[in-house]
Each structure stands twice: as structure tokens, then as C-alpha cells.
Structure 1
Amino acid sequence: MGSHRKSSLIEDLYGIASFLPWWLSICMAIGFYFYLDSLAVMPVIDPQKPMAHVTGWLVYYVAYWGRYLLPLIFVFGAVTSLKAKAKRVSLLNNVRYDSAPQQDALAAISWREFEMLVGQFFREKGYKVSETTEGADGGVDLHLTDNDFKTYLVQCKHWKASKVPVNVVRELYGVMVAESASGAFVVTSGQFTDDAQAFANGKNIQLIDGLLLVSAIKGRDTQQNKPVISTVASAIQCPVCNSDMVLRTAKKGPNAGNQFFGCSRYPSCRGTKAA
């Protein structure tokens, strides 16, 4: 396997600027310009201090050219950030207003576009979303932060044929525990195996298949016969579909006997929250 090419300082700065909100990159570009411009002053020659003279000229030349180069990098980064935001919104709206079946709506996009779609889906639910720089199937794809500063991990699987197996869910659960995250989501364009669903049951890890994802984006209820529930925690909303949650007790697994909040739309939605 070939080694990754080492990126330059300009590429690193551009990457940072493109990941920031576009308006923040613009503000930083303006701030860098005025700060460096204030340093771009011809040094006063003092024969008694030759080293200070060299340092002064070095600062002058770096500030003189940097006041143009650094803001330009952040302006280009802001443009990239703004275009990425427009792309995410466009992907979500294409699914929301598309009359095509779920399989066609998600199969037409690439794995990278699927990650952008999922990220925008969680942004609309109030999460702060941070995208990783890993490639396809590189592990955790998104980091979420809610209003209570709790962190959640998201792994996206744009699989058109095979179902997501239990080992994928198990591995993400291990990463969630290792990073002390509050929860995790596995989002796929397809489906999950029965073993994967059984493993996630009762744990603070949510499985969102393609049908549920498209239904949640469109605002539809995928459950045909919704059961009558006597005890609903109406003040608590599902992190996946925003429906009311129900206080339940885990019947099996390592959390057997413990209470948790489950989505009232179960089994169409398997969202949970710790009680």
C-alpha cells in the first residue's frame, strides 16, 4: 500500500478554511490581512544590533507577502465551504421532494454524497456536525454534538446490495465506548441483518436504514399499524425521527433489567435514549 503524500502548509490552511463555516473563514481572512499589514513596516537600521536588523527584515517580508497570501487562502476556503453547504442542502431537498422509491433516491448518489446527505440530515435536527477526512469505509464518518455538549459518532454505509452485518455495529459500539461518546448511529442506504438489529437493541446505538432515512427526511411515518401506548414521555423526543419516546425495560443482553427510552414508532424506528 502506497504512502500518503505529505501536504504542504498552504494545503493544510486551505483544508482548515474549507471545513470552517464560510463566514468565519471570511472574518479570519479580514483579521489576518489587517494584522499582517500592521507588521509590514520597514525596519529601522541599527548598526549596533545586526541580529535585530535581520529579524526585522524577515518579519517585514513575511508580513508583506503574507497579508495577501493568507487572506486569499481563507477566501478560497470560504468559497469551498459555501459550495459544500449548498451541495448538502441540495442533496437533502432532492430526496425530500423526489417521488422516486427509496432505493432509487439513495442509489443515484455516491458514497461521499451519501455522507454529506446524512450530515445535513443531522444538522437539521439541531446537531453540530463535524466531518472526518477518512475515505470510504474508513470508520467514523461524522461527529455530532448536541445542545448539551454530548458527542455522538456516526458511521455511514452506502451499500446498494448486501445488508450491514453485526460486526460493523459491534466495532462502532467499541469505538463509542473507547471515546466515551454518549451514543452512536449507523446509517445505511440499504438494510441491516437481524443479528445487527439484535445487537443494537437496548444499547445507545441507533440503526437507520434507507427506508427510515428517506421517510424521516420526507416527514413520513413508515409504520402502518401504530400500537397504542399508555405511557409516553412526551417531553422527550427521539433523536432519529423526533417522535415521542416511551419508557421501556431491556429484556435481554448486558443491559437486561435496565430502563431506557425507546421510540414510540418501534420497530419502524429504533431510536433510544438513556433513562
Structure 2
Amino acid sequence: MDAGRSVGMDMPRRDGYLMWILARLPWWVSVCLATLVFTLLRFVVPNIEFENPLFKGFALAARQMAWFAGFFLLPAVVSALLSYGKSQRLERQSGIESIRSLGWKEFEELLGEAYRRDGYSVVENDHVGPDGGVDLLLKKSGNTYVVQCKQWRDAKVGVSIVREMFGVMHHQNATGVIIVTSGMFTQEARNFANGKPIDLVEGSQLAEFIRNVQSERTTFDCSPPPKASAEMICPVCGAELIVRTARRGSRAGNRFLGCTSYPKCQHTQDCLG
């Protein structure tokens, strides 16, 4: 994500925008809106004396139109179902391996639900594909945090991503940045984050966080994720491979696996998945 991109949701078609927004708000918002519309049309508007013939005709028809307020209950049902699904997904987690088995979108929704339970106000970024930059926007006690979620099961999150999100934090005037991965961070990434308002949450820490916000704490596997597989080891020098992003050339913007001993070793290979 470009540092200049603002945090927000990808908008759907205009004709469904209101319903789309309501479905992603708490269910009670739609219920309150439906109640308000019904009250206005059923009891308030018909009792107002209008001079304008057009408004007078609307007032006469308002009582029969009041039942259209039920239309706003539909997103309330959708919102309740979505909220229930996210809650149940969090409760089903039993350890880092179950978390690592989630898809990237489920992973982001899991973290959104976890931070809600931890007392944060959460805005989810409904982008279309993975790695959209700012995935969650958290607010608590007057502070704002930008969050990026990395469902990288094997590869380590490198310093370039941490540095980029630090820039996004300043652009958004946020209090801090949180980067969460189901895997691990490189030592360079940890060194860069040290002393800065950057919280790096990896494998075992993530599992512990999820366990702490579950309604019923059960036996939970918080052990670190397994070490990188053979596919993540450089075949030239034996060092670990990490995911990098091409910045120049015909493949600019594409991800690839690069050796952590670069520039001493310049081996690269395609990044799968």
C-alpha cells in the first residue's frame, strides 16, 4: 500500500451503499434507524399541517408508508449474522496452528474481533485482495493505531514492511502501528521497531492474545510456529529466504523470495501463494 493512501473501506455500487454501510455497523444501529423512520412516518409527519400541496399529500400518505421502515431491519439481520460468525470463529481457535490455517480475510476478521473484545473501536478495511496496507484502524482512550495483518505461515516479515507501516503511521497521524503475523519477524525488523511506537505481534504472542480474549479459556497451544521449511532455505548459501517486493524493473510491485544474506548472496525465486 502506498503511504499516501487513506484508511477506509472500498465502496460498493452507489445503489447499495447505505445497506452496505448498515450491514457493517452493529445490528442495533439499523434497528434504531428503523424505529425512528417508523415513528416519524406513522405518528409525526401525518400530524403536521403543511401549506404546500406536495408536502400535504406526502403527510397523508406517510402513515401507509411507515411499514417501509422494516426495510432497514434487513441489514440488522446481516450485521448480526456476520458478528456471530466472527465471534464463533474466535471461540473455535485452539492454538497457533488453527490460526495459521485461516485464510487471509478470516485472519483479519479474527484480529478485528479480538481487538473489539480488548476494548478497542475497530474499523475494518474491506479491500479486495490481501496485503492492502492498513487492514484495521483501532481507537481507544483517544489514541489511534494502524494495524497490518500478515498471514504468512512460513516467511518472516522483513524490515521493509515495518518501515513502510511506520511511514503510514505518520501520514495518518496515528499514535502507533501494530503489525501482526502468524509467523515471525526478522531480526532486522525487530531492531528497527525497537524504541519506536511499533508493536510487533508474532506467533506465540498472537496465540496468547487470542486465548486471553476468548469467552471460555481452554487449553490453548501457544508454542511458536515451526521453523521455516526447506522451501524457505536458500539453496545457494543455506540462509533463510524472506518475502521481498520488487521496487524497480518490469516486475516492480511483485513479491519474490530473497536471501537474507543479500547482497553477499543474490539468489531469488518466485513467491508462491
Name the structure 1 match of 2:88: 90
| TM-score for the superposition, normalised by structure 2 | 0.65
Distance 1:170 1:64 in 2: 59
Name the structure 2 match of 1:19: 24
Matched, 1:105 2:88: no
Q: Which amino acid aligns with 1:53?
A: P
Q: 1:44 to 1:181 in 2, by over 3 A?
A: closer
Matched, 1:180 2:158: no
Give secondary structure in 2 for the equivalent of 1:106. Answer: helix
Distance 2:64 2:125 in 1: 32
Q: Residue 14 of structure 2: which of 8, 22, 39 is its match?
A: 8
Name the structure 1 match of 2:262: none
Structure 1 residue 156 displacement after superposition: 0.9
Q: 1:45 to 1:125 in 2, by over 3 A?
A: closer
Q: 1:108 to 1:44 in 2, by over 3 A?
A: same
Matched, 1:125 2:125: no
Structure 1 residue 85 displacement after superposition: 1.8
Q: 1:211 to 1:33 in 2, by over 3 A?
A: same
Q: 1:221 to 1:93 in 2, by over 3 A?
A: closer
Q: Deviations over 1:221-267 (max 9, x none)?
A: 9799xxxxxxxxxxxxxxxxxxxxxxxxxxxxxxxxxxxxxxxxxxx
Query: Is contact 2:11–2:17 with CA below 8 Å preserved after alignment?
Result: no
Name the structure 2 match of 1:199: 192
The number of residues matched between the two structures is: 207
Structure 1 residue 124 displacement after superposition: 2.1
Distance 2:18 2:98 in 1: 35
Distance 2:40 2:50 in 1: 23
In the TM superposition, 1:151-170 aligns within 5 A as 151-170=144-163
Structure 1 residue 42 displacement after superposition: 11
Structure 1 residue 37 displacement after superposition: 3.1
What is the aligned-residue identity percentage? 34
| TM-score for the superposition, normalised by structure 1 | 0.65
Give secondary structure in 1 for the equivalent of 2:38. Answer: helix
Q: 1:5 to 1:205 in 2, by over 3 A?
A: closer
Distance 2:167 2:73 in 1: 40
Query: Is contact 1:43–1:53 with CA below 8 Å preserved after alignment?
Result: no
In the TM superposition, 1:1-275 aligns within 5 A as 7-9=13-15, 11-38=16-43, 41=46, 52-54=52-54, 56-57=56-57, 67-72=66-71, 74-95=72-93, 98=94, 102=96, 104-135=97-128, 136-146=130-140, 148-219=141-212
Query: Is contact 1:188–1:209 with CA below 8 Å preserved after alignment?
Result: yes
Structure 1 residue 161 displacement after superposition: 2.8
- Which structure 1 residue ranges, 5 or more long, are not aligned? 47-51, 225-275
Q: Which amino acid aligns with 1:14?
A: M
Q: Which amino acid aligns with 1:143?
A: L
Query: Is contact 1:163–1:192 with CA below 8 Å preserved after alignment?
Result: yes
Q: Which amino acid aligns with 2:85?
A: K
Structure 1 residue 200 displacement after superposition: 1.1
Structure 1 residue 55 displacement after superposition: 5.3
Q: Which amino acid aligns with 1:141?
A: D
Give secondary structure in 1 for the equivalent of 2:164. Answer: helix
- Which structure 2 residue ranges, 5 or more long, are not aligned? 1-9, 213-219, 225-273
Give secondary structure in 2 for the equivalent of 1:16. Answer: helix
Structure 1 residue 107 displacement after superposition: 2.7
Q: 1:204 to 1:59 in 2, by over 3 A?
A: farther
Query: Is contact 1:44–1:53 with CA below 8 Å preserved after alignment?
Result: no
Structure 1 residue 115 displacement after superposition: 1.0
Distance 1:155 1:162 in 2: 16
Structure 1 residue 59 displacement after superposition: 7.1
Give secondary structure in 1 for the equivalent of 2:179. Answer: strand
Query: Is contact 2:37–2:66 with CA below 8 Å preserved after alignment?
Result: yes
Query: Is contact 1:153–1:183 with CA below 8 Å preserved after alignment?
Result: yes
